[in-house]
Amino acid sequence: MSDIRHHIPEPLLLAYASGNLPHAYAVVVAAHISVCDQCRAASEGHSIVGGQVMEDTAPQAVSEDMKSRLMAMLDGPDPLPPTPRAKGLYPAPVAELFSGEQPKWKGLGMGVKQSILSQNDSGSVRLLYIPGGRAMPHHGHNGLELTLVLQGAFSDETGRFQRGDVELGLPEMEHTPIAEAGPDCICLAATDARLKFNSLIPRLMQPFLNI
Amino acid sequence: MLAVRDQRDKAAFAALFDHYAPRLKGFIMRSGSTAAEAEEIVQDVMLAVWHKAAQFDPHQSQVSGWVYRIARNRQIDIKRKENRPVPEEIKQPETTEADGSQIVALEQEAERLRTAIAGLKPAQREVIEKAYLGELTHQEIQEETGLPLGTIKSRIRLGLEKLRHDLKSMRET
């Protein structure tokens, strides 16, 4: 756990704590915090500031009815859904996005596989499976891409990333991640826009692959 | 809060309610909910405070920060109709000895932060409020807030280390 070198940048932690991060990115941040105590502490720090802002807010009277209704509910069962649990190498916020013990993979060719966990107008979050030693297609992106390594490791022009590490892909950045030889690399990746592939074939296939 | 967690003390819970419910309601209404919606969220949040009390750890959290986190989660679940992703909880050991000095030190750091926020110029303060009310998008939050968060983070980190240590020794015995 102490081996994590690449963390969530501070502005994203604050956006997450205040609830203003699109869902796809929030999944990556919550998954990283699940395995990184440094960012868990930073996130808790932001909650404490948020709590302070809440304490300073002008109070609004609540109805007595609601209070008595609530007090009467205390002996009842907990109506909230149970806290999700991790499944193997998948931290709880990732694991709750697929049913069963393993995600459902779809082959993209050359042994590379993906599993789309969630996709909507604000972005998408997916798992990528890259066999050890293989490269991901060379790509840039339109928006921010957040990638969290769950198994194995990869390297690209900006550094080496292993379990728990987060890579921040900025729009102007073009990179070619290569999975290290050894255990196959599994990553969680969130984007707010479609990836831009430079070579023709992946570009033509993009609408079909949904990446 | 600890009386609620350890003794399941309803009178203590009622006192927590009297303090937090009106502030929560004001806070939730400021971020765009109607009074009726806000009451419903306050009810859900306070019920979660009661049922999740076992997860509250004073070595790494402050009550108001913990309540803030639950409230933001609930508000987003309702507003966006999606399940907000939350980090895995660290399992709390069944028996653990409280480390008073850690709890007091974290309290002192929170107090220093409070003073720092109170000492901000009105314009800066407004930025902080907007940020933590969730009114700024992640693209808008580019700069550091200027609040001295470094020391409180190290302090919370110590609280987490204590928890990890307690869990480890529990597994070993």
Q: How far apart are CA B160 and CA B24, in angstroms?
A: 27
pLDDT in tens, B11-39: 999 999 999 999 999 999 998 889 999 99
DSSP structure class, residue B17: H
pLDDT in tens, A166-186: 999 887 777 788 999 999 999
DSSP element (H, E) containing A55: helix A37-55
Q: What is the pLDDT of residue B97?
A: 84
- Spatial neighbors of A41 by CB under 8 A, at least 6 apart, are B60, B153, B154, B156, B157, B160
DSSP structure class, residue B54: G
Nearest beta carbon to residue B86 from set A30, A60, A70: A30
Residues of A in contact with B48 (CB under 8 A): 80
Q: How far apart are CA A84 and CA A81, in angstroms?
A: 8
pLDDT in tens, A87-110: 999 999 999 999 999 999 999 888
Residues of B in contact with A50 (CB under 8 A): 65, 68-69, 72, 132
Residues of B in contact with A15 (CB under 8 A): 136-138, 141
Q: Of A23, A5, A29, A189, which Cα lies nearest the Cα of A112?
A: A189
Query: What's the whole-number mean pLDDT along residues B56-74?
Result: 95
Q: Is residue B124's pLDDT more than 60? A: yes
Q: Is residue A1's pLDDT more than 50? A: no
DSSP element (H, E) containing A134: none
Q: How far apart are CA A42 and CA A28, in angstroms?
A: 16
Residue contact A49–B87, C-beta within 8 A = no
Q: What is the pLDDT of residue A206?
A: 52
pLDDT in tens, A26-41: 999 999 999 999 999 9
**What is the residue whose two structure tokens read 């303060």?**
B125
Q: Judging by beta carbons within 10 Å of its beta carbon (0-12, 13-18, 19+), is residue B93 exposed, middle or buried?
A: middle
Mutate to test the interface with A, among B56, B147, B153, B161 (most CBs of A within 10 A): B153
What is the residue extent of each domain of chain B?
1-89
Please give, rounded to a whole number of angstroms, the shortest distance from the CA of B25 to a CA of chain A: 6
pLDDT band at B157 (very low <50, low <70, confident <90, very high): very high
Query: What's the whole-number mean pLDDT along residues B157-169?
Result: 90
**What ipTM was predicted for this assembly?**
0.93
Which domains are seen in chain A, by residue range? 98-209 (2.60.120.10)
Q: Does domain B1-89 have CATH number 1.10.1740.10?
A: yes
